Amino acid sequence: MKTWMKLAGPLALASMLAAAPAEAGWRLVEEGETRKVARSSMRVTAPVDWNRATERPTSRSEIWTQDGVALSELMFYAKIKDGETLFKKHQRKRNPLPEFSKDMLLTDLVEWYEDTANVALGGSLFEIVEVKPATLAGYEGVHFSYSYTGGDNVARLGEARAAIIDEKLYLISFEAPRIHYFDRYIAGVRAMMDSARFE
Amino acid sequence: MKRLLASVAFAGLVAQPLAAQDTETEGAEAQAATEKQLPSAYGYEPQDDLEKGLWYQMDEAERRLKESRFLIEDPELNEYVRSVTCKTVGEARCQATRIYLVRTPVFNASMAPNGVMLVYSGLLLRMRDEAQLAAVLAHEFTHFEKQHSLRLFRNWRSKTDLLSWLSVIPVRVPYAVGMATQVAVLGNMFSFNREMEREADAGSIEELVEAGYDPRAASAIWSQLGAEMDATAEERGHRSDKNRNGGLFATHPRSTDRMGRLAQMAREAMGEQAEERYRGAAEYRAALASWWPELIEDQIALKDFGGTEYLLATLAGDDPMGWTGDLLYARAELYRARAEEGDFAQAAEFYRQAIATGEAPAESWRGLGLALMRDGFKPEGQAALRSYLELEPDAPDAALLASMAGEVQS
């Protein structure tokens, strides 16, 4: 059945592909709470209540949601090292995911994210909308927005902020259906991205 | 698991030859069988409950397909593919098909029993001339007219519970395909058996000759596909897929065997006449021209370095003069994305060649700048980025590039 599951169509980018555990439990992150994310010392402050999955898609990531990951998916990735991929490699030889390199330029990070999405979603209609300089936890980084349609034919919007800090990648991404959900949460998500800091 | 199911069903098919199946059907409907109508005939209706059920499912799937964001709606391109189909199988028979172009960078095409033909953009990218496109269309049309998938369904149906075949449709896509579920029912790649593939191959040669196309186009497709699979495998370090099931039409006969047999059929069909048959290379290029940059971009996004490098050379026609600005730009992007030792210098060289053609996309300057910066030539790279920003001040990443180029942000 594995093949079928894979073809069953990625919904939100990360949750389906990073093989989010089926039996994940959820814990409340309360409004105003500041906590470390993705087993790193990077902290963010939640401007409103969020739900945090108790199981991690990968050891270097963490997933939060408001209404379930198909409708709102907030991902934190931290300490991704040179040569590692964003998601788990599941077709290592025949469909390899691109690897992160510590030498990447900020533009390369965006292209790498796009390439990862394209390989993972199998030629989806993924498009980068806008790319701006930004800071993440005080480090020089990039903020970009994108749109795509996955296997479920739902148009989604996404935004991500990323920086290479001490040769490792830190990235926060949010995606949700274009209709209603994205606009509903994006302001709070941007505030959370702005709130990221180390100690 | 899927593969296992498929092979079990297939084994069942072999164990019970089609001849036996046909006899059984004819016994029950002797009358109907004698005046059997081809599905390509005008006003054809499904013949029994099973076929009606199948059509119902297919029609539902077609309705959903019409809403898919993956459809290429460009009327000119659609009209071109339709005109090639009609030229190949004749005006009357082509009325039985409804063609949908699907934006997916995979080499495939399929035709459902209700007449829905899916043509993937990855196939359009790989065809070198109109005759090759006609060969694929004729091949799929033969499967359709001979009701191969219907025969498979009947067989599946007799082996499995009620409608369970719908949940185990033999999809065998070697790649993750974003829109696979949207066309799972329509675009399933049936595991046609060896006999059916032979029939479809023979049918395609006949149609090509009849329509005046060069029948050698059919075997050329297979040699191109085989070479591309070899190139992909070599770069990624796995065995070539060319002799596996999978890829175009997910066929049973191995690609290499098939190529030889198609070439022979073409020779026989043409007889001793060695005159030039119509290939329509220029016509095909013209019809695809406005789509090529996007289709190449879709292909590059797959990060299949070996296969794409081969494909670009194919598109350039193995001719140094065939490397247009678009193709050089694409090749440079491929090297820059691979980012291995020496790739940035190589990429910079291809970007420069692209720019020198005078017709390269403005993004060539962007790529050149980024490749130079990664290669340690920061001032030169920044200068190239500034050239790009002069050409494309409203680029989506203009703000970031400006800061990387050392310009003061507004």
Residues in chain A: 199
Same domain, B73 and B213: yes
- The verdict on residue B293 lying in a domain is no
pLDDT score for B31: 45
For tokens 């910066």, the residue is: B373
User: Of A150-154, A193-197, B90-94, B335-339, which gets the smallest average pLDDT?
Assistant: A150-154
Mean residue pLDDT of chain B comes to 78
pLDDT of B44-87, one tens digit each? 888 888 788 778 877 887 887 888 778 899 999 999 999 999 99
Strands B98-102, B116-120: pairing kind: parallel
Same domain, B354 and B265: no
- The verdict on residue B47 lying in a domain is yes
Same domain, B325 and B244: no
Mean pLDDT of B89-115: 87
> Any bridge partners for residue A163, and if so which?
A170
- CB contact under 8 Å between B401 and A107, yes or no, is yes
How many Cβ atoms sit within 10 Å of the Cβ of residue B377? 17
pLDDT of B393-403, one tens digit each? 999 999 999 99
pLDDT of A136-186, one tens digit each? 999 999 999 999 987 777 899 999 999 999 999 999 999 999 999 999 999
A57, two tokens: 């898609």
Which pLDDT band, with edges at 50, 70 and 90, does B229 fall under? confident
The CA distances from residue A10 to A102, A166, B100, B189, in Å, are 28, 32, 23, 20
Q: How many Å separate Cα A1 from the centre of its chain?
A: 27
Q: Which of B270, B305, B327 is the last residue of a domain?
A: B270
pLDDT of A91-107, one tens digit each? 666 678 889 999 999 99
- CB contact under 8 Å between A7 and B397, yes or no, is no
> Any bridge partners for residue A51, and if so which?
A28, A65
**Residue B251, helix vs strand vs coil:** coil
Buried b (16+ CB within 10 A) or exposed e, B140-155: bbbbbbbbbbbbbbbb
Question: Which CATH number characterizes residue A162's domain?
Answer: 3.40.1000.10
Percent of chain B with pLDDT strictly greater than 70: 75
Strands A168-177, A155-165: pairing kind: antiparallel
Residues from chain A that touch B374, judged by Cβ atoms under 8 A, are: 103, 105, 108
Alpha-carbon gap: A85 to the closest alpha carbon of chain B (Å): 14
B4, two tokens: 């296992």
Compare all CA atoms of chain B with the CA of A98 and give the residue at the minimum distance: B303
Q: What's the CA gap between A126 and A177, in Å, rounded?
A: 14
Mean residue pLDDT of chain A comes to 85
Mean pLDDT of B218-239: 82
For tokens 């050392």, the residue is: B406
Amino acid at B347: A
Helix residue ranges per DSSP H, B118-251: 121-126, 130-145, 148-159, 194-211, 217-236
More confident residue, A9 or A67: A67
pLDDT score for A169: 97
- The verdict on residue B288 lying in a domain is no
Alpha-carbon gap: A152 to the closest alpha carbon of chain B (Å): 7
Q: What's the CA gap between A182 and A12, in Å, rounded?
A: 12
Mean pLDDT of B123-133: 93
Quote the domain boundaries for residue B365.
316-404
Give the Cα-Cα-Cα angle B324, B325, B328 (nearest 5 degrees): 85
Same domain, B54 and B196: yes
- CB contact under 8 Å between A122 and B339, yes or no, is no
pLDDT score for A152: 78
Interface of A with B in 21-60 (CB under 8 A): none
Same domain, B19 and B150: yes
Amino acid at B69: R
Residues from chain B that touch A121, judged by Cβ atoms under 8 A, are: 176, 178
How many Cβ atoms sit within 10 Å of the Cβ of residue A90? 15
Question: Which CATH number characterizes residue B321's domain?
Answer: 1.25.40.10
More confident residue, B297 or B177: B297
Mean pLDDT of B97-114: 86
Same domain, B50 and B142: yes
The CA distances from residue A153 to A12, B2, B182, B200, B226, in Å, are 11, 24, 8, 33, 32
- CB contact under 8 Å between B176 and A121, yes or no, is yes
> Any bridge partners for residue B65, and if so which?
none
pLDDT of B335-388, one tens digit each? 998 899 999 999 999 999 999 999 888 999 999 999 999 999 999 999 999 999
With a cut of 60, say whether residue A109 has pLDDT above it.
Answer: yes
More confident residue, A81 or B259: A81
Amino acid at B19: A
Q: What's the CA gap between A171 and A193, in Å, rounded?
A: 9
> Any bridge partners for residue B119, and if so which?
B101, B109
**Residue A140, helix vs strand vs coil:** strand
A26, two tokens: 């959820």
Same domain, B251 and B321: no
- The verdict on residue B104 lying in a domain is yes
Percent of chain A with pLDDT strictly greater than 70: 83
Asked whether the beta carbons of A28 and A35 are under 8 A apart, the reply is no
The CA distances from residue B26 to B22, B46, B97, in Å, are 6, 16, 27
Asked whether the beta carbons of A71 and A183 are under 8 A apart, the reply is no
- The verdict on residue B167 lying in a domain is yes
- Nearest Cα residue to B229 out of B213, B245, B247: B247
- The verdict on residue B160 lying in a domain is yes
Please spell the DSSP secondary structure of B313-371, one letter per residue: HHHTTT-GGG--HHHHHHHHHHHHHH--TTHHHHHHHHHHHHHHTT-S-THHHHHHHHH
User: Of A103-112, B69-78, B105-114, B303-312, which gets the smallest average pLDDT?
Assistant: B105-114
- CB contact under 8 Å between B238 and A94, yes or no, is yes
Helix residue ranges per DSSP H, A44-198: 106-121, 181-195
Asked whether the beta carbons of B252 and B193 are under 8 A apart, the reply is yes
pLDDT score for A9: 34
B193, two tokens: 């058996």
Alpha-carbon gap: B406 to the closest alpha carbon of chain A (Å): 12
Alpha-carbon gap: A117 to the closest alpha carbon of chain B (Å): 9
- CB contact under 8 Å between A2 and B179, yes or no, is no
pLDDT score for B195: 79
What is the tally of structural domains in chain A?
1
With a cut of 80, say whether residue B252 has pLDDT above it.
Answer: no
Which pLDDT band, with edges at 50, 70 and 90, does B225 fall under? confident
- CB contact under 8 Å between B397 and A128, yes or no, is yes
Residues in chain B: 410
**Residue A163, helix vs strand vs coil:** strand
Buried b (16+ CB within 10 A) or exposed e, B301-339: bbbbbbbbbbbbbbbbeeeeeebbbbbbbbbbbbbbbbb
Same domain, B335 and B193: no
Mean pLDDT of B110-132: 89
Q: What's the CA gap between A138 and A121, in Å, rounded?
A: 32
More confident residue, B279 or A57: B279
- CB contact under 8 Å between B181 and A9, yes or no, is yes
The dihedral of CA A38, A39, A45, A48: what is its sign?
Answer: positive
Which pLDDT band, with edges at 50, 70 and 90, does A125 fall under? confident
Q: Which of B270, B305, B328 is the last residue of a domain?
A: B270
pLDDT score for B219: 86
B127, two tokens: 């065809």
Q: What's the CA gap between B172 and B228, in Å, rounded?
A: 19
Q: Which of B251, B270, B289 is the last residue of a domain?
A: B270
- Taking the complete model, does pTM exceed 0.90, yes or no? no
pLDDT of B4-22, one tens digit each? 333 323 222 222 222 233 3
Quote the domain boundaries for residue A82.
2-198
Give the contacts of B266 (CB within 8 A, at least 6 positions apart): B205, B214, B215, B216, B218, B219
Of the spans A129-133, B236-240, B323-327, which averages the highest pLDDT?
A: A129-133
Buried b (16+ CB within 10 A) or exposed e, B111-133: bbbbbbbbbbbbbbbbbbbbbbb
- The verdict on residue B373 lying in a domain is yes
The CA distances from residue B334 to B311, B319, B353, in Å, are 12, 19, 15
- Helix (H) / strand (E) element for B261: namely helix B255-270
- The verdict on residue B305 lying in a domain is no
More confident residue, B354 or B225: B354
